[in-house]
Amino acid sequence: MILYSVPGSCSFASHVALEMAGADYEVRLAPREQGRTAEDFFEINPKGRVPALVTPDGLLTETPAILCYISQTYSQAKLAPMSNPWLFAQVQSFSAYLCATVHVAHAHGHRGYRWADQEASFQDMTRKVPQTMGACFRLIEKEMLQGPWVLGEDFSVCDIYLLAIARWLEADKVDTTSLSKVLDHRARMLRLPDVQKVLAEEQDLALSG
C-alpha cells in the first residue's frame, strides 16, 4: 500500500496506524504548492487532500475510513474493538468528531479560502481558532477521554487520531491549562516506539520535499 502524506498534517494518524498494524506500506510526500495541493496530486486523489491510501482494492480517503480499514484489515493488531458493535460505534463517533468538528475548527486558521474570499474574513476566522479549538478539547477532556485511553483501558485508533490533532494545540494558541488529561495522553503517546519511528520518518519526508 502507498500512503500519501504531508508532515504535520492529519495523515500522521494513518501513518502511525499502518506502522502499529505491521502493514506492508510506503509513504510518499503529497505535492504542495503555495500552501495548496499541487495539481498533479489531483490525478491521484480528486479531493486533493491527505491522507490518501492506495490499497489493493483502490484509493481510500478520509482519516476515519482509513483507520477503520486498517483496523479491520489487520485485526490481529487489535487497533479497534471489532467484535463489540457498541465500542466500535464509539470509535467511529469519536473519529467523526475529530474529523468533522475539531479538524474544521483548526482549518479555519490556515485554510480560510475554503469558506470565504475576503482577507478580513480570513483574519476573523484565525482569531476565533483558539476559542473554538479550546472548546473542542475541553469537551474531549471532560466527556470523551475516559483514561488512560480514549475508550478506557483498551488502546485504539482513537488514541492515534487524538494524538495527531493534539499536536496542533500550541500552534493554535489554545490555553491548555485545563487539559491535563489530554496533555498526559499526548505525552504517553509520543513515547511509544512506533510513534517515535513515524515522527522520524515524517522529518525525513519533510526534508525530501
pLDDT the model gives residue 38: 67
Confidence check: pLDDT of 34 > 70: no
Beta-carbon contacts of 209 under 8 Å, excluding residues fewer than 6 positions away, are 7, 29, 32
- Same domain flag for 106 and 137: yes
- Name which of 40, 47, 14 is nearest 3 in CA terms: 14
> Domain containing 13: what range?
2-77+195-208
Between CA 30 and CA 205 the distance in angstroms is 10
Total domains, the chain: 2
- Same domain flag for 111 and 168: yes
- Same domain flag for 135 and 116: yes
Any bridge partners for residue 5, and if so which? 29
Q: Provide mean pLDDT across the span 147-155.
A: 97
- Same domain flag for 44 and 142: no
- Same domain flag for 185 and 202: no
pTM of the predicted structure, to 2 decimals: 0.95
- Same domain flag for 41 and 90: no
pLDDT the model gives residue 86: 97
pLDDT the model gives residue 61: 98
Q: Where are the beta strands (DSSP E) in the chain?
A: 2-5, 26-29, 32-33, 36-37, 52-55, 58-61
Q: Provide mean pLDDT across the span 165-174.
A: 98
- The 10s digit of each residue's pLDDT in 110-128 is 888 999 999 899 999 999 9
- Same domain flag for 173 and 98: yes
Between CA 156 and CA 79 the distance in angstroms is 5
- Same domain flag for 187 and 94: yes
Q: What's the pLDDT band for 31 if we cut at 50, 70, 90?
A: confident
CATH of the domain at 41: 3.40.30.10
- Same domain flag for 45 and 56: yes
CATH of the domain at 125: 1.20.1050.10
